[in-house]
Structures are given as structure tokens and as C-alpha cells.
Amino acid sequence: MTNGKITAEYIWLDGRKPTAKLRSKTKIINGPVRKLEDIPMWGFDGSSTEQADGHFSDCQLKPVYYIPDPISKGNNLLVMCEVLNADGTPHVTNTRHILAKVAEKFKDQEAWFGIEQEYTLYGKNDWPFGWPMGGYPSPQGRYYCGVGFDEVHGRPLVEAHLKACLEAGLAISGINAEVMPAQWEFQVGALGPLEVSDQLWLARWLLYRLGEDFNAYAKLDPKPMNGDWNGAGGHTNFSTRPMREQGGIEVVKQACEKLGKFAKQHIRVYGADNDKRLTGKHETCSYKDFRYGVSDRGASIRIPMETANKGRGYLEDRRPAANLDPYQICTALIETTCGEGFNPDKYGWGNFEFPEDKVVTAAPNVPLPLK
């Protein structure tokens, strides 16, 4: 734009229940921006986003992270924001400010996260992209990492998204076609807790926004199609510095044991409708069970083969659903493995109620091949 003016797209999480969605609007500001403080606070009508009632509806937008806008280019920006109340206190839907505190408290642990975002592309008429309208493709088995017009659907959007993320400097580590046709995955990380979370939300925003140009939209529903079709997860790979150092496998093991003790608490923030996905089938462990094991894709927590062989590395929490809020997942993982344990009630969190009559059972763990 002219006169040093740029566009800043302010992006925030709304108050939708049980799963927050993204909202954004454009502000024309003076550029170029050199630091976060150059981006002004802004506001919005919270009564239109389920974040306030009509009588007292102003909410504030506090910029917390920004990247170059790979769509409108130039000096234009995408700006991730926290939502504050009119008096400047964090809004009840602001999960990020909790993670910011927890990340600061345990920063000496140097936690890293790599999040695998699975999603399903839908076309017009709310049916998976490329599927026969109102009908089904042949059974899954050939689509994962497939190539060809008969195997994968939506690659032009997927690749435009990857390119946009890379241009914006997001730490995308890979993409792949998934088991169910029209299902895809990208991975963000490994990064620290706030960075991975902000980047995941921004990568999601870019996916939705680019979908507008391709007549497709991404659904993060954990079980978009009933029947013998894989669900969509948000596997979260996690390590602390002691896990990555020599002998770290022992720390990984201790973390798994602790995660077993807080399985119920974690599941409550791992995504709405996750019980439809964590059935014990389709490469999942039931949400009622907790198991960890080396190379076990039917466990709650998988210890990658490489980590077991090297004796140090990371763990993969396979339970989070595609509709996860990374601010909550990272908080839970850090508090349980580095602190006293995670309690969603402390923050008024939980988008999935664990049925009281169900008990988490810890099945015998697969022994670690310790060398």
C-alpha cells in the first residue's frame, strides 16, 4: 500500500463451544512494523463472537505474535492476538495467557513440541472433497501418502497452503496425504510451547483462508465420517531438555507414567467428540485406557523407535484430536510431566466430559528395549 500504510490481519479465538474457531479482521496501520510494540491494540464486538452480551460487548485485541502475510505480501502482516476484557484482564476464552504463565514457570525445562495437524477437506454441499456426491469411494488402504487423481483429492490447495506457510516463515516440518481420502496432515515444530501454538493457529487460518479460493474448506472434526474411515488427530510430539540428553529415555518413561496418572484430566481438554475417534480401532487407543509403548501406534503414548534405540529423544501423545487447542495441550503436557499434574478445573477448561462411570485402566505397558 502507499504512504507507508500496511494491512494487519488481527486473528483471534472466538467463544464458540465446545470448540473455539478463528475470527479475523483487517486494520490499516503505519508500516513497516519492526517489533511487536509497533502494532496497536484493537477491539471487536464480543456479542457477535459469543464472548460478551449485547449490553457490554467490547473486547480488546492484544497483538502477541506476527508473521508476514504470504497472501497479500508486501509489508503486510498476520497478527495473532489474545482477547482481553474491556478492563484489560484476560478474557475467559483466552487460553494462551495460561500457557504463557506455565511456559515461563517451567522454561528451564526447554520444552519442545511438534504438532501433527490432520484435517479433512470438504467441497460444496458439505461432502468430502473429491468423493462421489452423496456416495463413498472404495475402502481405505490405498490413499495414505498416495499419488494420482484416483488416490488423492485437493492437492492444489494443500500445496498452496504449504507454500504460504513457508513464505510466512512458519516452522512446517512436513505434509502428507492421510488414510481417509480427502484427509491430509501438516506438522508444525519442533518449537517452544507458545511458538508452536501461535504458529499452528496461524497455519490453520491460512488453510481456511486459502480454501476460500479453492472452493474447499478444512474440517477439524475428530471423526468426520462414521464407519470404517480413520478419524483425524493432532498427535503432539513432546520433549524436555533432560529427555533429549543422554539417558533421557528414563525421563521419557517417567513422563509416560505420570501421564498415565492424569489421563482423565488430559482427555478433558484433548478435543470435543474425541471419544468417537479414540475407540481402540484405526490406530488409536480407547480414551478409557492408557498405554504407552515403543513404536506402538495403538497406544496412548508412542515412544518412537529412534528414541528407544538412541536412549534419548521424545514421546508422541497420540490422544489429542484434530480440533485441539494447542494452548491447552501444551499447558497439560508441561504441568503433568514437569510439575504437580494438570487440573482442567483450575482454569475452567474442558470441552469433553469424561463419563463418570468409566475408569481409566492402565493395561500392562509394553517393556522398553533398554540397552
Q: Site residues (CB under 6 A) for ligand ADP?
A: 112-114, 116, 173-174, 187, 189-190, 235, 237-239, 244, 313-314, 316
Choosing among ligand ADP, Mn ion, none, which partner's interface includes residue 265 (Cβ < 5 to 8 Å by kind)? none
8 A C-beta contact, residue 102 and residue 326 = no
| In the complex, minimum distance from the CB of residue 178 to ligand ADP, in angstroms, rounded to a whole number | 10
Choosing among Mn ion, ligand ADP, none, which partner's interface includes residue 114 (Cβ < 5 to 8 Å by kind)? ligand ADP
| In the complex, minimum distance from the CB of residue 118 to Mn ion, in angstroms, rounded to a whole number | 5
What sign does the CA torsion over 155, 159, 162, 165 have?
Answer: negative
Name the residue nearer to ligand ADP (CB basis): 29 or 172: 172
Pairing verdict, β 301-303 and 292-294: parallel
Q: Rounded CA gap, 300 and 315, in Å?
A: 10
116 counts as binding Mn ion under rule CB under 5 A: yes
Binding piece for Mn ion, criterion CB under 5 A, among 15-23, 38-46, 129-137, 231-239: 231-239
185 counts as binding Mn ion under rule CB under 5 A: yes
Name the residue nearer to ligand ADP (CB basis): 57 or 295: 295
Q: Rounded CA gap, 232 and 119, in Å?
A: 6
| In the complex, minimum distance from the CB of residue 210 to ligand ADP, in angstroms, rounded to a whole number | 21
Three-state secondary structure call for residue 259: helix
| In the complex, minimum distance from the CB of residue 162 to Mn ion, in angstroms, rounded to a whole number | 14
Three-state secondary structure call for residue 263: helix
317 counts as binding Mn ion under rule CB under 5 A: no
235 counts as binding Mn ion under rule CB under 5 A: yes
Choosing among Mn ion, ligand ADP, none, which partner's interface includes residue 313 (Cβ < 5 to 8 Å by kind)? ligand ADP
8 A C-beta contact, residue 347 and residue 329 = no
Choosing among Mn ion, ligand ADP, none, which partner's interface includes residue 238 (Cβ < 5 to 8 Å by kind)? ligand ADP
Give the residue closest to ligand ADP by C-beta: 114
Query: Any long-range contacts for 144-150 (C-beta under 8 Å, 24+ apart)?
Result: 144/176, 144/177, 144/178, 144/179, 145/176, 145/177, 146/177
Give burial (CB, 10 Å; 0-12/13-18/19+) of 139: exposed
| In the complex, minimum distance from the CB of residue 196 to ligand ADP, in angstroms, rounded to a whole number | 9
8 A C-beta contact, residue 121 and residue 184 = yes
221 counts as binding Mn ion under rule CB under 5 A: no
Nearest to 86 by CA among 56, 63, 47, 64: 56
In angstroms, the Cα distances linking 20 to 190, 199, 253, 307, 328 are 24, 16, 33, 34, 12
| In the complex, minimum distance from the CB of residue 251 to ligand ADP, in angstroms, rounded to a whole number | 12
With CB under 5 A, what is the number of residues at the site for Mn ion?
3
Name the residue nearer to ligand ADP (CB basis): 113 or 143: 113
| Binding footprint of Mn ion on the chain (CB under 5 A) | 116, 185, 235
